[in-house]
Chain A
């Protein structure tokens, strides 16, 4: 299942990779085996894993948009003052 399709069907999407949720546990958690119900349960028990998810948990759409923001720097032409 690709990322776009997952985004439509799942609320909690992990960053790429196999994740440990508790220290010392096996790194088995990824998007293929984590349901939204499980994700909610794990987040409640292990709050530190919130950072492992792609998007902000309270507002899913914000962070993805921020990531693709382009910083526009003024060019030399913009900075040139008109000569009198």
Chain B
């Protein structure tokens, strides 16, 4: 029987480290086919390893002013819960290079890693699109838009008819020896980022 049909813990109000909103102004995006994942043996909600195929890299998209956002929402289906995922971000720039990346995100599938502002948690760093990937569904540039001053407003979501079977996975990568922490996970991701 699945481990997911019986609850086995309750939760008290987190007053020691109250939950806070938002994600940090950085998103790590990589091609779905470029990396393989390792999951915790007993809990597939935890990603314990990310391995590059060949010399593939993760790409870092930076923003500012808490302007990035993620959301995941349960969708009830006849075959169990599924989750829709959305990542809203923007690019503070305008060039052929940026357009090239947007084209690629529109055709190919990507995955994205985000860092929650609330980092007193084992799920501070989250992976979106673990099973089916994400594609770019909105890329809007209005030259007169004062909120992003003519930059691109972007949205990554699940491809059509494909939702994720799990909530966004927690990324928790251990150092060479020792247990996984927020810092070791971040270092492991940064090590894969294109320089």
Contacts and interface: CB of A to CB of B under 8 A. Distances in A.
Interface of A: 15-25, 27, 30, 46, 48-49, 51-52, 67-68
Nearest to A25: B36
A23 B52 contact: no
Contacts, number: 53
A52 to B, nearest CB: 6
Size class of the B contact interface (CB-based, 8 Å): 10 to 19
A48 B36 contact: yes
A23 B54 contact: no
A20 B41 contact: no
Contacts of A27: 37-39, 44
For the complex, would chain A's binding face be called helix, strand, loop or mixed by DSSP majority? loop
Interface string B8-48: 00000000000000000000000011111111110010001
A48 B53 contact: yes
Given A20-B38, A23-B53, 9 more contacts: A15-B38, A15-B49, A17-B49, A18-B44, A23-B35, A27-B37, A27-B44, A30-B41, A46-B53
A19 B41 CA distance: 9
A22 B54 CA distance: 12
B93 to A, nearest CB: 29
Nearest to B52: A48
Given A18-B41, A30-B41, A67-B177, A23 B36 contact: yes
Contacts of B121: none
Contact of A23 (B32, B39, B41, B177): B32
Contacts of A21: 36
Contacts of B34: 23
Contact of B41 (A17, A22, A52): A17
A48 B51 contact: yes
Interface string B153-195: 0000000000000000000000011000000000000000000
Given A27-B44, A48-B54, A51-B51, A18 B39 contact: yes
Given A23-B33, A23-B35, A24-B32, A52 B51 contact: yes
A19 B40 CA distance: 9
A61 B52 CA distance: 25
Nearest to B56: A48
